[in-house]
């Protein structure tokens, strides 16, 4: 243990999928948040703290009430981005305000406290960021693509695109 921090070991997988192996702001300053305690009220977004890939800040604009930040995402992360869904950027769980699938870019609105207390305020256009897609989207994809492994008693799938649309997911 250090006086002003701690030492951690990063696996090769972590260095490949995150900014920790880079010489960047995101690698120099890491946002840490405690995990949900067993028995705690569940609220907010469903993210796990496992980085899926690296994106980049495209633009940041201060408004009267927030910072509107636009990021790019690789396709394997972008497939889980939906407007009003959640995404973790450098470990900060945020709501997607807008999503442009053609450009694989999304926008979030960051309140001043979050902007000031995290490393988002240190980013410049082009800065690398760690991205984690919503875990619920990953599970929906898995169930939709798993074939007949998940069937109801009549032999049909429990989760179908029609079921998801009827329940507000598509």
Residue 12, beta-bridge partner list: none
Number of folded domains in the chain?
Answer: 2
Would you tell me how many other CB atoms lie within 10 Å of the CB of residue 144? Answer: 15
Predicted model pTM: 0.77
Q: Is 44 left (phi over 0), alpha (psi -120 to 50) or beta?
A: left
Would you tell me how many other CB atoms lie within 10 Å of the CB of residue 150? Answer: 13
Q: Which residue has the higher pLDDT, 148 or 61?
A: 61
Q: Specify whether 129 is located in the same domain as 56.
A: yes
Q: Is residue 41 part of a domain?
A: no
Which pLDDT does position 26 carry in this prediction?
Answer: 56
pLDDT at 150 over 60: no
CA distance 118 to 84: 21
* CATH at residue 68: 2.40.30.20
β-strands 105-110, 92-100 pairing? antiparallel
Per-residue pLDDT reduced to its tens digit, 77-107: 999 898 998 899 998 999 999 999 999 999 9
Name which of 96-105, 121-130, 156-165 the model is least confident about.
Answer: 156-165
Query: Do 45 and 89 meet the contact criterion of CB atoms below 8 Å apart?
Result: no
Which pLDDT does position 24 carry in this prediction?
Answer: 64
Per-residue pLDDT reduced to its tens digit, 37-80: 788 887 766 777 789 999 999 999 999 999 999 999 999 999 98
149 confidence band (pLDDT: 50, 70, 90): low
Q: Specify whether 128 is located in the same domain as 154.
A: no
Q: Is residue 112 part of a domain?
A: yes
What is the average pLDDT across 121-129? 94
Domain containing 140: what range? 135-170
What is the average pLDDT across 13-17? 85
């Amino acid at each position: 243990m250090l006086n002003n921090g701690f030492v951690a070991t990063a696996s090769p997988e972590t260095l490949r999928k995150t900014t920790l192996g880079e010489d960047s702001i995101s690698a120099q300053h890491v946002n840490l948040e405690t995990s949900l305690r067993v028995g705690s009220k569940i609220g907010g977004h469903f993210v796990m703290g496992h980085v899926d890939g690296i994106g980049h800040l495209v633009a940041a604009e201060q408004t009267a009430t927030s910072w509107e930040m636009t990021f790019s995402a690789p396709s394997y992360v972008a497939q889980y981005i939906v407007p009003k869904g959640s995404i973790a950027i450098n470990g900060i769980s945020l709501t997607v305000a807008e999503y442009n699938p053609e450009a694989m870019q999304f926008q979030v609105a960051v309140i001043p406290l979050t902007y000031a207390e995290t490393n988002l305020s240190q980013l410049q256009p082009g800065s690398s960021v760690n991205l984690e897609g919503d875990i619920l989207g990953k599970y929906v994809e898995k169930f939709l693509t798993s074939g007949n492994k998940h069937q109801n008693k009549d032999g049909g799938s429990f989760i179908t695109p029609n079921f998801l649309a009827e329940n507000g997911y598509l």
